[in-house]
């Protein structure tokens, strides 16, 4: 049996290593945060002592960044909700119903993720130009749905498969229909999966740069593109870039914080089969 | 009773004829009419002082012509990414675009932007006094296609020159602004560290700041651009140029000289924390503007000459019409307005815009006097530099694969200045890697 002081010493080393690792991982974020509060002209300075200022955030608020931020929120939220709306029932159908082409359809859905986004850029650009969807939020939502739907269908299919069919059969015996059983029995049991999938969809849409770069101009420009626009000919506006970077981190942090318990159970669901 | 045509009948016939013409869209422009009413022009340029300034005047164009202008000025990387796709797909998304200097070979060579000669020659589309010959040949040469047709109207000539933040220290040490490569190290050795100010700096985009030295020593990037794109970076002259340039940075540069981007170089010059730089005219002349700490001590010169001659780098950007535009005539009308002598003169008089491309403006006494900074005739330096560029030595930069070599030059100079490699080793590596990259890009060598 090991002595208590030795265990404590080992725990101290482990915790110290964990803290060092955490600091290393968070260092870029922390650097970004401190940079966003540095005064104009000193954004790239390494001096640890400085008078923090909100000037960069005020400059962002006074410019076009809030509109870009709102565009990002609208496009990401819209595509996430619509992807879940269409993808969750589709995943349920593919998990529960036995039909001949089930495997092939699932594979075709996955095919949409097998090519890099750049492969779809030109078709999207040409079609969107013709039908007037360039520089619109609905246009971005449609694009984001194309890669989110595959994620929702494949992920939720696994969650639905993990829900025991006996529960649904019991509901049917009690007189519930297919939709009623799905909405009242299966979906609540798969809620952690929906939350985890929703977060992934939101993050993927939120972080998109390439499609937003090509398919928007001014009206629907998203936050990641707006940040690159701070790289001006007369100089890179480092303070604004840092402040905008911090603001872009926030929604994902807040969203993840509120659904973190779902996220953990969602990630673990189906890990152990009974 | 003979038939006679009364006044009322003449008026009625005239009104009917006018109505028919208007309905067919052929109504001739007249005082008070809006020739582009109902036309929407999509125009884009990367964010730079001139296009941002132009935005202030565009409402006047809309009011005069009736056109609706959707005008965007994204940052340089965003603009080029978007435009590359729009032009490559012959999209009608844009009617007037900036033809970016580093993409001239690709965009004009592939026919993505239209030749403008037929527009210029058409008296119905181009005012008689517009005078396309007024634009510096040094700026228009780059925009000609293989058939010699002009494909863009230049709005800027970004010329490289010498600028000193502390010319007072230079003259106190008994020197003038250096005119050639042999004077440079002598002058820098005399002033380096005086008043705590390091002597020399350039931005760390060496694919832009180094070729003037390379060519000054008689070397070049490619063997014979744009026809023969075999890199020639490892010749004795190229190695000598790389050693000379890197020595300036290593011996006279500030600490961390390799990390300075162009905006940091401008900030360092304006604050007087570095003395001398070879940089773009638009950057170095900021030293003489209000708000600069060195407003009273700055000095200017032509880019110094090397043993093989003087090769100041000149970059130009211009307005062009994409092949897919559905409003080509209206697009040209916008270009003639934006690049008219009248508007450019107003931009100079009202906002001090000085990187103009029309000789008739640069030669005006008021322009010369406004660009005489601390006694230095910067306007003359500007004219002389643009005229030098007409020789065609900038051809290396307008070939599509140049960015591949540009990166190798950056790496080579960094390697020499940091002491990792000798000039011989670094340039040999740049040569080898450039060949690999060019072959990968599909260039036959």
pLDDT tens digits for A154-203? 999 999 998 899 999 999 999 989 899 999 999 999 988 998 899 889 99
pTM over the 0.95 mark: no
B14 falls in which pLDDT band (50, 70, 90)?
very low
The pLDDT assigned to B21 comes to 40
pLDDT at residue B46 greater than cutoff 60: yes
- Whether A133 and chain B come into contact, CB under 8 Å, resolves to no
Query: In Å, how far is B84's CA from the nearest CA of chain A?
Result: 10
> Which residues of A are less than 8 Å from B78 in CB distance?
213, 225, 228-229
CA gap B71, B51 in Å, rounded:
9
- Rounded to a whole number of angstroms, the distance from the CA of A77 to the nearest CA of chain B is 25
Pick the residue of A231, A233, A237, A240 with the most B CBs within 10 A to test the interface with B by mutation.
Answer: A233
- Alpha-carbon distance of B76 to A40, in angstroms, equals 22
The predicted model gives B65-90 an average pLDDT of 91
Assigned token pair, A177: 């229909």
Backbone angles phi, psi at B71, to 5 degrees: -120, 120
Report the pLDDT value the prediction gives residue A267, as an integer from 0 to 100.
57
* A228 at B interface, C-beta within 8 A: yes
Whether the Cβ atoms of residue B424 and residue B248 lie closer than 8 Å to each other: no
Lookup: tokens for A213: 């770069």
pLDDT digits (tens, 9 = 90+) for A55-92: 999 999 988 899 999 999 999 999 999 999 999 999 99
Q: A209 CB near a chain B CB, below 8 Å?
A: no
**pLDDT given for residue A264 in this prediction:** 67
Quick one: pLDDT at residue B28? 39
Indicate yes or no: CB of A225 within 8 angstroms of CB of B78: yes
User: Between chains, do A232 and B78 touch, taking CB under 8 Å as contact?
Assistant: no
Picking from A5-9, A14-18, B175-179, which range would have the lowest pLDDT averaged per residue?
Answer: A5-9
Does B86 contact chain A (CB < 8 Å)?
yes
Residue B317: pLDDT band (50, 70, 90) is very high
pLDDT of residue A239: 87
Mean pLDDT of the B240-252 span? 98
- Residue of chain B minimizing CA distance to A224: B78
Percent of chain B with pLDDT strictly greater than 90: 71
**Looking at the predicted structure, is the pLDDT value of residue A37 above 50?**
yes
Check CB contact under 8 Å for B89 and A232.
no
**Cβ <8 Å between B93 and A41:** no
Task: Give yes or no for B46 touching A (CB within 8 A).
Answer: yes
Per-residue pLDDT band at B19 (split at 50, 70, 90): very low
Q: Report chain B residues whose CB lies below 8 A from the CB of A118.
A: none
- Is A231 at the interface with chain B, CB within 8 A? yes
CB pair distance less than 8 Å for B75 and A230: yes
CB–CB contact B74 A234 (8 Å) = no
Assign domain A63-264 one CATH number from 3.20.19.10, 1.10.3720.10, 1.10.390.10, 1.20.1560.10: 1.10.3720.10
Helix ranges (H only) for B96-230 are: 104-109, 117-121, 137-140, 167-172, 183-191, 206-209, 211-216
**ipTM score of complex:** 0.70
Contact in structure between B47 and A229 (CB atoms under 8 Å): yes
Residue in chain A nearest B286 by alpha carbon: A234
Instruction: Taking residues A216-243, report their average pLDDT.
Output: 85
Within the 58-77 window of chain B, which residues sit less than 8 Å (CB to CB) from chain A?
A: 70, 72, 74-77
Give the one of A134, A217, A231 whose C-beta lies nearest to B75's C-beta: A231
- The token pair at B362 is 């640069």
A56 versus B24: which is more confidently predicted? A56
Give per-residue pLDDT as tens, B200-227. 999 988 999 999 999 999 999 999 988 8
Q: Do B86 and A217 touch (CB under 8 A)?
A: no
Q: Do B49 and A214 touch (CB under 8 A)?
A: no
What pLDDT score does B27 carry? 38
pLDDT at A113 over 90: no
B78, closest residue in chain A (CA to CA)? A213
Degrees to nearest 5, angle at CA A22 with A21 and A25: 85
Provide the pLDDT confidence category of residue A3 given band limits of 50, 70 and 90: low
Using a CB–CB cutoff of 8 Å, tell me whether B271 touches chain A.
no
Distance from CA of B424 to the nearest CA of A (A): 34
Q: How far apart are CA A87 and CA A193, in angstroms?
A: 13
User: In chain A, which residue's Cα lies nearest the Cα of B271?
Assistant: A41
User: In the prediction, which pLDDT does A130 show?
Assistant: 87
Distance CA B403, CA B103 (A): 9
Q: What is the pLDDT of residue A265?
A: 65
- Which residues, other chains included, contact B261 with Cβ-Cβ below 8 Å and sequence gap of 6+? A236, B203, B204, B205
Calculate how close chain A gets to B192, using CA atoms only, in Å: 24
- Nearest by Cα to B109 from B26, B226, B19: B226
Q: Does B80 touch chain A (CB under 8 A)?
A: no
At A234, is the pLDDT very low, low, confident or very high (cuts 50, 70, 90)? low
Average model confidence (pLDDT) across chain B: 90
Q: Is the pLDDT of residue B441 over 90?
A: no
Has residue A261 got a pLDDT over 80?
no
């Amino acid at each position: 049996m090991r002595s208590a002081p030795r265990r404590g010493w080992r725990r101290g080393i482990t915790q110290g290593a964990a803290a060092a690792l955490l600091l290393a991982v968070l260092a870029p974020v922390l650097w970004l945060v401190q940079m966003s509060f540095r005064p104009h002209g000193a954004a790239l300075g390494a001096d640890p002592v400085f008078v923090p200022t909100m000037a960069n955030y005020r400059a962002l608020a006074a410019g076009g960044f809030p509109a870009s931020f709102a565009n990002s929120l609208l496009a990401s939220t819209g595509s996430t909700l619509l992807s879940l709306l269409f993808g969750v029932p589709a995943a349920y159908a593919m998990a529960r119903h036995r039909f001949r082409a089930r495997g092939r359809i699932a594979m075709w859905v996955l095919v949409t993720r097998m090519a890099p986004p750049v492969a779809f850029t030109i078709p999207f650009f040409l079609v969107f130009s013709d039908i007037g969807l360039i520089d619109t939020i609905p246009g971005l939502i449609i694009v984001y749905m194309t890669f989110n739907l595959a994620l929702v269908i494949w992920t939720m299919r696994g969650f639905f498969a993990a829900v025991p069919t006996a529960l649904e059969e019991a509901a049917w015996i009690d007189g519930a229909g297919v939709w009623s059983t799905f909405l009242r029995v299966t979906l609540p049991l798969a809620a952690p999966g929906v939350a985890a999938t929703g977060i992934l969809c939101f993050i993927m849409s939120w972080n998109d740069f390439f499609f937003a770069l090509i398919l928007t101009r001014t009206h629907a420009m998203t936050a990641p593109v707006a940040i690159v626009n701070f790289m001006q000919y007369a100089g890179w506006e480092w303070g604004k870039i840092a402040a905008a970077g911090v603001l872009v981190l926030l929604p994902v942090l807040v969203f993840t914080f509120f659904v973190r318990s779902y996220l953990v159970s969602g990630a673990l669901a189906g890990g152990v089969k009974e | 009773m003979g038939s006679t045509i009364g006044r009322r009948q003449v008026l009625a016939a005239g009104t009917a004829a006018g109505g028919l013409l208007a309905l067919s869209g052929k109504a001739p422009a007249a005082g008070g009419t809006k020739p582009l009413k109902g036309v929407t022009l999509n125009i884009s340029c990367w964010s730079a002082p001139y296009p941002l300034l132009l935005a202030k005047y565009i409402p006047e164009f809309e009011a005069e012509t009736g056109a609706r202008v959707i005008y965007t000025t994204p940052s340089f990387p965003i603009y080029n990414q978007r435009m590359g796709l729009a032009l490559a797909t012959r999209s009608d998304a844009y009617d007037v675009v900036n033809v970016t200097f580093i993409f001239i070979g690709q965009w004009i060579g592939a026919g993505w932007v239209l030749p403008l000669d037929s527009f210029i020659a058409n008296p119905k589309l181009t005012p008689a006094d517009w005078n396309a010959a007024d634009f510096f040949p040094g700026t228009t040469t780059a925009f000609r296609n293989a058939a010699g047709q002009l494909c863009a109207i230049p709005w800027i000539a970004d010329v490289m020159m010498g600028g000193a933040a502390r010319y007072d220290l230079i003259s106190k040490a008994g020197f003038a602004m250096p005119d050639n490569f042999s004077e440079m190290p002598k002058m820098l050795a005399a002033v380096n560290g005086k008043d705590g100010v390091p002597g020399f700096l350039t931005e760390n985009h060496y694919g832009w700041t180094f070729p003037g030295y390379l060519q000054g020593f008689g070397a070049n990037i490619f063997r014979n651009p744009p026809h023969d794109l075999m890199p020639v970076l490892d010749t004795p002259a190229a190695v000598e140029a790389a050693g000379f340039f890197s020595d300036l940075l290593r011996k006279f540069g500030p600490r961390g000289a390799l990390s300075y981007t162009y905006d940091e170089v401008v900030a360092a010059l304006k604050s007087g924390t570095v003395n001398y730089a070879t940089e773009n005219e638009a950057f170095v002349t900021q030293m003489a503007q209000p708000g600069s700490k060195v407003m009273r001590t700055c000095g200017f010169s032509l880019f110094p000459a090397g043993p093989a001659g003087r090769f100041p780098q000149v970059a130009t950007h211009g307005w062009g019409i994409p092949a897919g535009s559905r409003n080509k005539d209206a697009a040209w009308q916008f270009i003639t307005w934006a690049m008219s002598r009248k508007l450019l003169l107003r931009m100079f008089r009202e906002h001090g815009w000085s990187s103009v491309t029309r000789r008739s403006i640069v030669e005006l006494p008021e322009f010369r006097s406004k660009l005489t900074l601390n006694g230095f005739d910067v306007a003359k330096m500007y004219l002389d530099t643009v005229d030098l560029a007409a020789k065609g030595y900038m051809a290396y930069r307008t070939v599509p694969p140049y960015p591949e070599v540009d990166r190798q030059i950056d790496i080579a100079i960094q390697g020499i200045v940091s002491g990792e490699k000798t000039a011989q080793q670094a340039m040999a590596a740049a040569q080898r890697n450039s060949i690999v990259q060019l072959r990968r890009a599909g260039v036959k060598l």
